[in-house]
Structure 1
Amino acid sequence: MIGFVTLTGIVARNGILKISHALNLSLTEGLALSPALVLRASEERLVPVLMTALSAGIALVPLLFDGEAPGKEILHPVAVTIFGGLASATLLDAVLTPVLLLRFGGPAFASLRESQAGEAAGAPALL
Structure 2
Amino acid sequence: MLDRTIQWALTNRLVTLACATLLLAAGGYAAFTMPVDVFPDLTAPRVTVITESHGMAPEEVEKLVTYPIETAVNGAASVRRVRSSSAQGYSIVWVEFEWGTDIYQARQIVSEKLQLVGGGLPEGVDAPVMAPITSIMGEILLVGLTSEDHSMREVRTAADRVVRRRLLAVDGVAQVIPHGGEVKTYQVIVDQERTRALGISLSQVMEAAEGSNENAAGGVYQQDGREVLIRGVGRTNEIEEIGATGIFV
> What's the TM-score, normalizing by structure 2?
0.19
Q: Which has the higher strand share?
A: 2
Specify the structure having the higher radius of gyration (Cα): 2
> Normalized per residue, which structure has more helix?
1
Q: TM-score, normalised by structure 1?
A: 0.32
Structure number with the bigger relative contact order (C-alpha 8 A, sep ≥ 6) is 1
